[in-house]
Amino acid sequence: MTDKLKEVKLFLGPQHPGMHGNYSVHMYVDGDLIKKARPMPGMLHRGFEKLMERKLWMSNTALIPRICVIEPDINEMVFAMGVEALAGIEVPEKAHWIRMMILEMARVATHLFALGGIGGPTGIYTSMYWAVAERDLILDLFEKLTGARVYHIFIMPGGVRKDLPENFLDDLSTYLESLEKKLPDFEELLLKHPVIHARTKDNIMLPKEVVHDLGVTGIGMRSATGVAYDLRKVKPYARYDQVEFDVPTATYSDALTRIHIKFAEIKQSIRILKQVIEKMPAEGPVRVPIGTGNALKIKVPAGMIYTAVESTRGEYGYFIVSDGSDKPYRIAVRGASYPQGLLGIEKYLPGTRIDDAPLWMDTMGVCSPEIDR
């Protein structure tokens, strides 16, 4: 009789204060321990891959940032890299540096948001208040540069849309100095906090042997294998080979180590941004036209290509197929959190507790819109 009452089916559903984004995990629970878990994606599904086939190449630049809501610039970057490689055009020098600056600013903003998001599952709401306020100052800088806070539509095939406004680099360096002064406070709040230690030390491990089998990339891979497998070092794009930075790694992947690595990556991104401010060319064109001038009538030559960049969650790529017409034939999106959000939840959540499910999503990096597309 008591066997039948032992396991309960529970939905850690979409409407939950500790859940990140519109995602759901269905599980069988025995007390607090999870016995079986299955992810339930698809609640943010909009059919992007079908919609992209129905729009012109340049019209797609307005649609694609919406695939990954938290870090929209990586979508524009991989699309632009793919189209440029198929069309065979070279981007001017200043555009590469501006692109790198935008990608690193987006990386700092997203890591801050993720560190703030730890406040929901653990109860340390102070981190959310501090981190979201800091991230808002970066969004102000984006607004000065591109005109919008969240969806920028700035990196396009051929370069970037416009040149930098005046005094932008001074504003950026003032902001970086003020952020560096606040980082020790964040460290004391998040990394040395006894509650965080109790919740995350030796908890929700990712074993080293399964990293390649699952296809996990990004922080999950670097914290388990101990090798600097980062696309910015292995296959550099956009002048990453001309700046110096380290890639933090570890060999023991529990949740606390992954939070440490996120923190270290913010510091490395600040280091890259300082070098970009010094080395940015003062003048030069920022955009070259594709085709003969009318942006809405460009035709990309036929071919297939797969381009990828390193996002905060791992390898993010687009597989573009063109048949020579003015609309894409097929674009497939490789979301960086697909492995850890789907197979990772099915295999590595059983054995942990209910309150660890949102922590897995936060530390490994699971962004639900890029799984559902």
Partner 1 sequence: MTNSMSNLKGLLNKHYQISEFEEPIAMELIFDVRNDQLLDVLAFMKSIGFGQLSLLTCIDWIEKNEFQLVYILMNWDSGIHALVRTAVDRDNPKFRTIEHIYPGVKYYERDVHEFFGVEFDGNEDSFKHLFLELWEADRPMKKDFDPEAYSEKKYGMRKYRTEFPRKIGGE
Partner 2 sequence: MAIGDKVEIKAWEKLGDFFRGRSIWMMWYCTGCGAIEMPPTMTSRFDMERLGMGPMATPRQADILLITGYLSVKTLRRVIYSYEQMQDPKYIVAFGSCTINGGIYFDSYATINKLDDYLPIDMYIAGCMPRPEAIMNAFNELQVKIRNNEVDGWKRYKKNYDQYKANQMKAVGEVFVHDEFHE
Residue 15 vs 294, nearer CB to partner 2: 15
Q: Which residues within the stretch 9-48 sit at the binding site for partner 2 (CB under 8 A)? A: 9, 11, 13-17, 21-22, 26, 28, 36, 38-40, 42-47
- Sheet of strand 8-12: strand arrangement: 8-12, 24-30, 33-40
Q: Which residues within the stretch 147-206 sit at the binding site for partner 2 (CB under 8 A)? A: 149-151
One-letter amino acid at 77 equals M
Closest CA to 263 of 74, 131, 368: 131
Residue 45 vs 162, nearer CB to partner 2: 45
CA–CA distance, 319 with 332 (Å, rounded to integer): 5
Which of partner 2, partner 1, none does residue 189 bind to, with CB < 5 to 8 Å depending on kind? Answer: none
Q: Which two tokens stand for residue 88?
A: 């065979």
Q: Which residue carries 């509650």 as its tokens?
A: 195
Residue 9 vs 283, nearer CB to partner 2: 9
Three-state DSSP class for residue 318: strand
Q: Are 352 and 5 in contact (CB under 8 A)?
A: no
One-letter amino acid at 165 equals P
* Distant-in-sequence, close-in-space partners of 31: CB < 8 Å, separation ≥ 6: none
CA–CA distance, 78 with 90 (Å, rounded to integer): 15
Question: Minimum Å distance from CB 328 to partner 2?
Answer: 15
Which of partner 2, partner 1, none does residue 15 bind to, with CB < 5 to 8 Å depending on kind? Answer: partner 2
Continuous segment of H or E residues that includes residue 127: helix 125-146
Site size toward partner 2 (CB under 8 A) is 42
Q: Which residues within the stretch 65-84 sit at the binding site for partner 2 (CB under 8 A)? A: 66, 69-70
Which residue ranges make up the site for partner 2 (CB under 8 A)?
Answer: 9, 11, 13-17, 21-22, 26, 28, 36, 38-40, 42-47, 50-51, 54, 62-63, 66, 69-70, 113, 116, 128-129, 132-133, 135-136, 139, 149-151, 369
Which residue ranges make up the site for partner 1 (CB under 8 A)?
Answer: 41-42, 45, 47, 49-51, 54, 85-86, 212-215, 217, 227, 229, 234-235, 303-308, 315, 317, 319, 321, 329-330, 332, 334, 338-339, 342-343, 372
